[in-house]
């Protein structure tokens, strides 16, 4: 393993013993369990120190281990933005699409090859702003997609502009005197549109998030998992909320697990309580089941199920 601990780097160039190298004796390299899901040659990634996206990818990888899913039947689609970069860092069949269009591309993948497990991994700006229409329509049609929305409350990659999820009274580069627009309550939005599985966690809840992702893999239909994630560089810094570690402590202090909470009550404020948990878990026929039922009913024997697509 080339990138295991390099003890040479730990030797103090100045020669004083500020560091006890005995304590850093990690010469036996241990493979990180998530390593096989990553494109190690592309590490370290571009995300800022303390950015929560890496933690969500970590939980996602652990959910893949836990659910023992066949990686050959898995496709990951992401849009544009900080979270959009996930597609480039995972060693899975992944697709980095145009801005806001992760769900349409994923829908196409699912329709062409219904056996695929399609995961949409994107940010709040990509999914709920430019891709907002696709989000609600995919939820309405109940297309069998697992959507992981990493919500850092801001447009981070482009310089910290106000996003539809930015809470009231926070300061952003486009609202230097404070945001006055009401923000989206994403779990409420997708539940109203028809999602069958809706959950919200923060990057503090790593184990719960991994469990939630494995649960979503077992559901058939539109699953939506929102992950509140720190953005130390743009959101926290501009709002004088400290660094990423402060954000994690804030999540620990302010988050309250309420499974099955009515999604209308889980809206976020800048400093208030963050309600997390599994809000919706229901059954509804998915798009392809409804399509098949409709065609069988109206066409009878003339309906021929599309055969499996073979890529040559």
Partner 1 sequence: MAKGRVSIVVERCKACGFCVEFCPSHVLALSSTFNSKGYHPPHAVHPEKCSGCDLCGMYCPDFAICATKTDAPKKADPAKEGDK
Residues that bind partner 1 (CB under 8 A): 3-6, 9-10, 12, 18-19, 23-24, 26, 28-30, 32-35, 38, 43-45, 47-55, 58-59, 62, 203, 206-207, 210, 243-245, 248-249
Q: How far is the CB of 36 from partner 1 (least distance, A)?
A: 11
Nearest CB to partner 1, comparing residues 243 and 281: 243
Start-to-end C-alpha separation, the chain = 35
Q: How far is the CB of 30 from partner 1 (least distance, A)?
A: 4
Residues 6+ apart with CB under 8 A from 276: 200, 201, 202, 205, 208, 228, 255, 256, 257, 258
Nearest CB to partner 1, comparing residues 35 and 93: 35
Closest CA to 230 of 218, 244, 220, 213: 244
| Neighbour order of strands in the sheet with 223-228 | 93-96, 74-78, 117-123, 145-151, 223-228, 197-202, 274-281, 255-257
Nearest CB to partner 1, comparing residues 34 and 69: 34
Q: How far is the CB of 85 from partner 1 (least distance, A)?
A: 13
Nearest CB to partner 1, comparing residues 11 and 265: 11
Nearest CB to partner 1, comparing residues 24 and 309: 24
Query: Contact at 8 Å (CB) between 135 and 104?
Result: no
Nearest CB to partner 1, comparing residues 9 and 311: 9
Q: How far is the CB of 124 from partner 1 (least distance, A)?
A: 18
Q: How far apart are CA 193 and CA 196, in angstroms?
A: 10
Q: How far is the CB of 18 from partner 1 (least distance, A)?
A: 4
Q: How far apart are CA 113 and CA 124, in angstroms?
A: 27
Q: How far apart are CA 209 and CA 190, in angstroms?
A: 18
Closest CA to 51 of 135, 120, 153, 127: 153
Q: How far is the CB of 261 from partner 1 (least distance, A)?
A: 25
Q: How far apart are CA 311 and CA 33, in angstroms?
A: 31
E strand or H helix at 206, and its extent?
A: helix 206-218
Q: How far is the CB of 187 from partner 1 (least distance, A)?
A: 24
Nearest CB to partner 1, comparing residues 10 and 112: 10
Query: Contact at 8 Å (CB) between 86 and 77?
Result: no
Nearest CB to partner 1, comparing residues 214 and 263: 214
Q: How far is the CB of 125 from partner 1 (least distance, A)?
A: 19
Q: How far apart are CA 55 and CA 203, in angstroms?
A: 6
């Amino acid at each position: 393993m080339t990138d295991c601990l390099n003890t040479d780097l730990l030797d103090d160039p100045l020669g004083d013993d500020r560091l006890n190298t005995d304590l850093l004796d990690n010469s036996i390299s241990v493979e990180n369990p998530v390593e096989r899901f990553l494109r190690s040659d592309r590490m370290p990634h571009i995300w800022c120190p303390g950015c929560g996206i890496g933690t969500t990818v970590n939980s996602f990888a652990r959910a893949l281990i836990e659910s023992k899913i066949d990686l050959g039947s898995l496709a990951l689609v992401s849009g544009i933005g900080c979270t959009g970069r996930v597609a480039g860092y995972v060693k899975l069949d992944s697709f980095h699409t145009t801005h806001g269009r992760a769900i349409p591309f994923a829908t196409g993948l699912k329709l062409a090859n219904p056996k695929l497990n399609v995961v949409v991994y994107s940010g709040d700006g990509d999914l709920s702003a430019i891709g907002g229409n696709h989000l609600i329509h995919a939820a309405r049609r109940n297309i069998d997609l697992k959507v992981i929305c990493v919500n850092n409350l801001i447009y981070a990659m482009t310089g910290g502009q106000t996003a539809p999820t930015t809470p009231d009274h926070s300061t952003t580069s486009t609202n230097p005197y404070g945001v006055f627009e009401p923000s989206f309550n994403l779990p409420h939005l997708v539940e109203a549109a028809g999602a069958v599985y809706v959950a919200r966690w923060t990057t503090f809840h790593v184990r719960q998030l991994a469990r939630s992702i494995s649960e979503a893999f077992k559901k058939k239909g539109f699953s939506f998992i929102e992950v509140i994630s720190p953005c130390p560089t743009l959101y926290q810094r501009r709002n004088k909320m400290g660094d990423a570690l402060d954000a994690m402590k804030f999540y620990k202090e302010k988050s309250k697990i309420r499974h099955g909470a009515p999604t209308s009550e889980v809206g976020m404020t800048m400093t208030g309580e963050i309600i997390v948990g599994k809000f919706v878990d229901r059954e509804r026929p998915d798009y392809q089941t409804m399509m098949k039922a409709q065609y069988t009913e109206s066409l009878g024997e003339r309906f021929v199920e599309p055969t499996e697509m073979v890529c040559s």
